[in-house]
């Protein structure tokens, strides 16, 4: 599937490059092209917080969903357009590292992060920013209207009562979708994982090309259940949506939002500055506004409307498994389930 997406996005994905922030009347000394899958509504806040300390660097965002950005970067391997990746899945960065696409760099202050949040190799090239975790967004009003009960587990979603009431992301487009699929294969085993997804597919109304969209649709009352990630559910609930954010009792998949410098950039010093800043306490406090799990030790505080004790629910995620088997998993998923995907 990556091969197909490479061809589709070789000349340019649907990502939109936007210079997000003009800082007062100052003139930026350096434009830094940053590829990201961070939620669009947070980009201005991220750039503004960074520019408080480094007003001489102008972040030019190129943003799309994880699957699309991963394909775009791979398509540009021999002619890179990005200076840095900031806020893309850790498993994608492992693929880029294996392809020789990342510039090794150890940011200043790296040891302040939990060891799970940085590359352990001698030629370390990536750092983790925060972790996003899978969750079920359940609309209580729609549930009552359709005589449903709130699911407690992943397997609950295969029960006949939920037929046509479940929406989840397509893993070929969405990093959230891929973390769901790879975590189910780890939780239930290869055979059991595909058996689970076969049963789930019977109840799926549609697959979206955005990880946040299933929860947005649940929040808007367009479905009872959206398989999404907890940050989106918590933010929707804070805005007044009648949803519960549920962690499945078997455990929840999770993924790092990570950062790395693209090899060959001619903005290396500015890219290093952003990497150094990304591991600071200030940056991690910024991540923690929306994400309950961040890399800097001792920073994370409970995020409103997140289920408590998120760390207890997170599975022992095998990122190497996810990265090394990504192409095979996505091809198999596409063959089995793509008939219910939204048009692109």
Give the tens place of pLDDT for each residue, 181-231. Answer: 999 999 999 999 999 999 999 999 999 999 999 999 999 999 999 999 999
Counting the structural domains of the chain, the total is 2
For residue 216, being part of any structural domain is answered with yes
14 and 115 fall within a common domain: yes
The pLDDT score that the predictor gives to residue 9 is 38
CATH of the domain at 194: 3.40.190.10
* pLDDT given for residue 26 in this prediction: 45
pLDDT by residue (tens digit) across 286-301?
Answer: 999 989 999 999 999 9
Any domain includes 150: yes
Q: Are 323 and 94 in contact (CB under 8 A)?
A: yes
What is residue 239's DSSP assignment? T
Q: Which of 105, 136, 138 is nearest to 123 (CA)?
A: 105
Q: Are residues 178 and 219 in the same domain?
A: yes
What is the percentage of the chain residues whose pLDDT exceeds 90? Answer: 87
* Structure confidence at residue 290 (pLDDT): 87
216 and 201 in a common domain: yes
Contact residues for 142 (Cβ-Cβ < 8 A; gap 6+): 148, 165, 218, 221, 223, 224
Q: What pLDDT does residue 3 have?
A: 45
102 belongs to a structural domain: yes
Indicate whether 65 and 116 sit together in one domain: yes
pLDDT of residue 13: 41
Question: What is residue 303's DSSP assignment?
Answer: P
Per-residue model confidence (pLDDT) at position 143: 98
Low-confidence ranges of the chain (pLDDT < 50): 1-26
Do residue 275 and residue 219 come from a single domain? Answer: no
In a domain, residue 143? The reply is yes
* Same domain membership, residue 334 and residue 241: yes
The reply to whether 234 and 293 lie within a common domain is: no
Residues 245/310, Cβ–Cβ less than 8 Å: no
Ranges assigned E (strand) in 140-236: 166-169, 204-208, 225-229
For 237, phi then psi, to 5°, come to -65, -40
Task: Determine phi and psi for 263, rounding to 5 degrees.
Answer: -60, 135
Please name the residue that has the structure tokens 């357009």: 81
In a domain, 189, yes or no: yes
* Residue 170 belongs to domain spanning: 133-253+323-340
The pTM of the full predicted model, rounded to 2 decimals, is 0.85
């Amino acid at each position: 599937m990556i091969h197909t997406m490479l061809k589709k996005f070789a000349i340019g994905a649907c990502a939109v490059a936007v210079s997000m922030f003009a800082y007062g009347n100052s003139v930026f000394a350096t434009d830094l092209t940053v590829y990201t899958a961070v939620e669009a509504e947070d980009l201005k806040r991220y750039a503004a917080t960074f520019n408080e300390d480094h007003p001489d660097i102008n972040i030019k965002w190129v943003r799309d969903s994880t699957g699309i950005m991963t394909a775009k970067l791979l398509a540009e391997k021999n002619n890179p357009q990005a200076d840095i990746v900031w806020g893309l899945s850790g498993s994608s960065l492992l693929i880029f590292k294996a392809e020789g696409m990342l510039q090794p760099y150890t940011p200043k202050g790296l040891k302040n992060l939990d060891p799970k949040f940085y590359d352990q190799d001698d030629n370390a090239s990536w750092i983790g920013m925060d972790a996003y975790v899978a969750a079920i967004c359940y609309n209580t009003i729609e549930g009552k209207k359709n005589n449903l009960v709130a699911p407690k587990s992943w397997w609950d979603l295969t029960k006949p009562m939920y037929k046509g009431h479940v929406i989840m992301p397509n893993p070929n487009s969405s990093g959230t979708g891929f973390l769901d699929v790879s975590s189910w294969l780890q939780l239930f085993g290869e055979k059991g994982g595909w058996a689970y997804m076969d049963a789930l597919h019977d109840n799926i109304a549609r697959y979206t090309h955005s990880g946040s969209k299933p929860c947005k649709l649940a929040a808007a009352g367009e479905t009872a259940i959206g398989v999404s990630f907890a940050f989106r559910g918590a933010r929707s609930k804070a805005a007044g949506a009648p949803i519960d954010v549920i962690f499945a009792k078997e455990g929840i998949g999770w993924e790092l939002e990570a950062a790395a410098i693209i090899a060959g950039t001619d903005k290396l010093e500015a890219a290093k500055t952003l990497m150094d800043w990304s591991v600071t306490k200030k940056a991690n406090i910024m991540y923690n506004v929306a994400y309950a799990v961040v890399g800097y030790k001792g920073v994370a505080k409970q995020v409103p409307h997140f289920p408590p004790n998120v760390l207890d629910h997170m599975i022992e995620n095998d990122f190497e498994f996810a990265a090394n088997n990504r192409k095979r998993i996505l091809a198999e998923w596409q063959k089995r389930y793509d008939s219910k995907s939204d048009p692109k």
